[in-house]
Structure 1
Amino acid sequence: MLKKKLQDSRFLMGTHLFIVLLGLAWIALSIKLNDKFEQFNWYYLIGIGVLLVANTVLWFRTPPTDRKPKLNKLFLILGFAEIILTTGLLIGFFILYFKFSTINLSELAWLMHADITGTNISTFYGDIIRGVIALILIIVAYFGLFRLAKKRNKQSRFVLWCFTVFFAGFCIVSGMHYKHLMVGEYLRNIGKYSPFIEDNYVDAGKVDITFKEKRNLIYIYLESMEPTFAGIENGGATQEDIIPELTAIAQENMDFGEGSALNGAYALNGATYTMGAMAAMTSGVGVSEDFFDNHIRNNVWEKDEYVTDYLPGVWSLGQVLEENGYKNMLMIGSKAGFSGRDVFFTNHGNYEIFDYDTAVERGYIPEDYYRWWGFEDAKLYEYARDEVTKLAAADEPFNLTLLTVDTHFTGGYVCQLCGDKYDEQYSNVYACASKQLSDFLEWIKQQDFYENTTVIIAGDHPTMDTEYISKMGISDEYERKSYIAVINPAKDCVERPRVYTTFDMYPTTLASIGATIQGDRLGLGTNLFSDKPTLIEKYGYQEMSTQLLQRSLFYEQNLAGRLQK
């Protein structure tokens, strides 16, 4: 009796429906449970697995039947669509989880909308190829098994079973994405307006900034550099110091830490990727996609047709320096158009831009020369030596800003200078970047202009390559920050231990080259040489992070502005 009942088609249909309902429950509960998600994840997977195995066994034991041919076609098409959707989501999840698990939905949305000219996606080729192969194999197996089921007159059961399996898979992967991308937190905050920025923002254009001396500035952004890699004995989290030269530079100069342990700057929302980080350190506010209109989101950056600056309301470092007679220059080894970096720096200090295209135009590299994101850091430092020599020969003070790229995730770029000391490629690239920076700094110190020059080295943001972070055994509890070192600042700059963010580098940079700032605050930043508390010291990391995830009417209307024709 029981055996007959188990083979009844209505019972099988009921189990399919039950699995579908469980899939819907998965999405609802993954939203509700949040912190208990991981434990729930395993319970759900075990439950679904038992039901599917049991359902498969029963399916093979049922008598042949095929009473609904039209329904077969519908479920066949739905199953095929689910295969593509679920497999695509699964591939995307593994890339997000293993390659850069720290990214959230807000950052992902910005990257999807931003100008991606010059983006290097070569590191994802392997994942894409493996994903396409997996998808092809699954599709071939799907239609092959369907033909087999059709011969046995069991295609109805087969298409229904496949539909159920892939629907369950879709629900599982959707729940994983929800948790990983912090969709719940994003949705909770995106609809809220916070007065935090308005209450704490200081407009540099309305503050008295005077220069006791006008020191030259060399500002070097090191892609994805963090004190995490300085070794446990130096306050890092790796077993061995991978960046010994950078460790020594921070210890011998200023990083606003205490003792020999390296300190760094927290990178908060809007400043956890390169363009946002550069905006944060030069204007005291980040760049978040939620604050911008569709012209910018659709990559409209043409200078002649639009007022294209996506932070037109801020008065930034470059503008302060230009106003005080400085010559500004930005040098990068990739295309400056990526994320509108050329637009931002041109409109905020009239920077002269030297990028990959410039190197090609000047004949420094052939037109078909392309390494990693453009040209490697070794060439960037080589060209920078020539450019800074020219800048120093002029009568006006200068600000030379560099952005490296070899240490970009995933795995970094192995140039001809890199060794093979470490098993992990990324470790060798980081070690090489440390040595190259140290060599460049030593060259600067030997130049006549160094006496009157302040050098700031800043990691733009912590690396997004969380596969590497996991391989290195770095705990989730470790607080990762951006590397900071201030070298040869103005004589009255006194270092003290601070807790700070990359926003604080804006007024700190000006103070380091001889500026006196009324109130010692600019943007959301505080002069770290002053006795004023930083916002993160005042509010704490969690509170400040939460507030910056929410929208700001003041930011949207006064700082981000709207594009105009």
Structure 2
Amino acid sequence: MTAKPPTPVRRFGSIVGTVLTYVAIWLGLVLLIAGVGIRWFWGRITVRDMMISLQNVDLPAGYTREWQGFYGIVVAPLVIVLILAACHAGHALRVRTRRLGAWDQRPRRQRRRTRALSLGLALILVVTGASVFSSSVGLADFVRASRSTMDIGDYYAAPEVTGSENQRNIVNIYLESGEQTLSDTNLFEKDPYAPLEEQTSDWQSIEDYQQYQGGGWTMAGLVSSQCGIPLKGTIAPWYGGGNTAPPDSIRTYLQGTTCLGDVFKQQGYKNVFMGGARAEFASKDTFLQDHGYDEVKDLDLWKNSGESEKDFRPDWGLSDQRLLDHAKDEIDRLHAESEKTGQPFNLSMLTLDTHEPATAYDYCPVDTESRLISVYQCSMEQVAGYVDYMKDKGYLDDTAVVIQGDHLKHMTSSDSFHEQLDRNDHRSIVNRVWVPGQENKRRLRPGIDQLSMYPTLLEAAGLDIRDHSAGLGVSAFTDAIPGGSAQALGPRGYRELVATDSKDFYTRAWDGEEVHG
């Protein structure tokens, strides 16, 4: 029996079904290629990491990783779908030509089974692609955090100083992109931290010191280690889509929270911050000034002080050598004032030589295949020289020193060391801790993240704080974790808490309303 030509409704349905099948194939390929590509090049990331990368995406000249991603995720699936569609159309045309333009003569049930099978296979591709993509970006954790009823405010501990009779000066040095993993000589040409390790061989360190989930840039490192909370935004003061840095020149910066500089200010400290870069970038100056820092010395000061042009990198700021030369003068001044007045000080600083692209100054001979490894070593030589200077001056007798990376090394497509770091499960942040006297022998709790560095810094400065707690963190100087602390949560619960938007908490914090635990 000859099949009847399809009615217009059936014809329309057939066209819609075919289009949906091709859309499903395209979507499945996009998700599958994106998921595999993310896992291959970057390992497991978060949805927020992906959103930040997409906000900052650029397609520079040359065949870079950005272009590879564009061709792989955007162009390749479209080309594959067009090829399949062309083959299908060509086959249909040949069949119709052979049958002199007749409609498909197969029984209707057979035609339906064929279309259903095609659509089913396309849906399987979509499900597979979605599963791979979801796993690569931690979509389940993101959804769980978005729907979570947990709030950081329920676990936040405002630091309460219970004793200050042993308070001391403290120097806090942030190393730009200071990742401990770079010391692995099985992965890299040499250990760039060797000069620092030699100078701090009798210091303590926190084994497996971790970047908090969702962090990974300088302001996130400063806020987490000085305030004990993840850096997040709300719709009110700025909108960052979650874990992103605020824009330059915002009016206030998390004034509702009590941070490191606030506590030191309350205890009579003088707070000074020094950096080679412009302090206005990402509103670092606002953060520091809103949280107890008396002086912020940055690029503008160095440019106005007669520094030679050869000591500046045009894209960023003053070299680490010159910054630390200024830091020697600064600690001389602060220590002399402290001995005269009895006022302790907190001197914090941030290096920048190791921020990519690698810039080698005339004091930095490049003797490695990777230019960046040599730059890291040269920067560490400057920091080690500063430690040696403090030692020679006798400052280490009454001054604690904490050296820490501000975050793991960036892994954007133009950055170095993807092969060694992308899928490395043992990445950690470099750190060294010096506390004068017997306290330097106290064991430091391994595996803490940047949120616990806040109370660690307070205790390194000789302050006693209730329950060793501040923000979401618990000091590395204790193994006793309070029962109601965020650090007492299991790994899954802690990840959920850190990832949750906590809109009520951050709205109060950014609005300047004092937050309480």
Q: Name the TM-score, length of structure 1 as normaliser.
A: 0.66
> 1:428 matched to which residue of 2?
374
How many pairs align? 436
* Corresponding position of 2:383: 437
| Distance in 1, Cα, partners of 2:328 & 2:60 | 33
CA contact (8 A) 1:218 1:454 kept: yes
Match 1:221 to one of 146, 162, 174: 174
> What is the CA distance between 1:390 and its match in structure 2?
1.9
Name the CA shift for 1:175/1:537 in 2 (closer, same or farther; >3 Å).
closer
Q: 1:41 to 1:520 in 2, by over 3 A?
A: closer
Report if the CA contact (8 A) 1:536-1:544 is conserved.
yes
Shift of 1:13: 12
Describe the superposition over 1:505-542 as per-residue Cα deviations: whole angstroms up to 9, x where unpaired: 11111111211112211111112222323868633544
CA distance in 1, matches of 2:387, 2:60: 33
Matches within 5 A, 1:49-448: 104-107=46-49, 181-182=137-138, 185-195=141-151, 197-204=152-159, 207-231=160-184, 238=188, 240-249=190-199, 251-256=201-206, 263-289=207-233, 292-297=234-239, 302=249, 306=251, 308-309=252-253, 311-365=254-308, 370-394=313-337, 395=341, 396-409=343-356, 411-448=357-394
Task: Write the deviation string for residues 103-137 of structure 1: whole angstroms up to 9, x where unpaired.
Answer: 64425656899xx9xxxx999676789969x99xx
Please state if 1:547 is matched with 2:497. yes
When residues 250 and 288 of structure 1 are mapped into structure 2, their CA distance, relative to the original with a 3 A threshold, is farther
Q: Is this contact kept in 2: 1:457–1:486, CA < 8 A? A: yes
Deviations 1:57-95 (A, max 9, x none): xxxxxxxxxxxxxxxxxxxxxxxxxxxxxxxxxxxx89x
SS at match of 2:426: coil
Distance in structure 2 (CA, Å) of the matches to 1:475 and 1:130: 16
Shift in Å, 1:187: 4.3
Q: Distance in 1 between matches of 2:362 and 2:61?
A: 23
Q: Classify 1:240/1:123 alpha carbon distance in 2 versus 1 (closer, same or farther; 3 Å).
A: farther
TM-score (norm 2): 0.71
Which secondary structure state, in structure 1, belongs to the residue aligned with residue 430 of structure 2?
strand
Q: Does 1:528 align with 2:476?
A: yes
Given that 1:301 and 1:343 are in contact with CA atoms closer than 8 Å, whether structure 2 keeps it comes out as no
Change (3 A) 1:510 1:129: closer
Q: What amino acid is the match of 2:235?
A: D
Counting aligned pairs with the same residue, the percent is 23
CA contact (8 A) 1:493 1:512 kept: no
Q: CA separation in 2, counterparts of 1:129 and 1:272?
A: 20
Greater share of helix: 1
Shift of 1:418: 2.4
Aligned partner letter, 2:344 = P
Higher deviation after alignment, 362-371 or 186-195: 362-371
For residue 518 of structure 1, what is the aligned residue in structure 2? 466
Which protein has greater RCO, CA pairs closer than 8 Å, 6+ apart?
2
- Structure 2 spans left out of the alignment, 5+ residues: 1-13, 76-92, 94-125, 241-245
Could you tell me whether the CA contact under 8 Å between 2:175 and 2:403 is conserved in 1?
Answer: yes
C-alpha distance in structure 1 between counterparts of 2:397 and 2:322, whole Å? 25
SS of residue in 2 equivalent to 1:482: coil
SS of corresponding position for 1:268: coil
Query: What is the CA–CA distance in structure 2 between the aligned matches of 1:129 and 1:109, rounded to whole Å?
Result: 17
Matched residues in 2 for 1:475 and 1:368: separation? 33
SS of the equivalent of 1:265 reads: coil
Distance 2:478 2:301 in 1: 40
Match for residue 454 of structure 1?
400
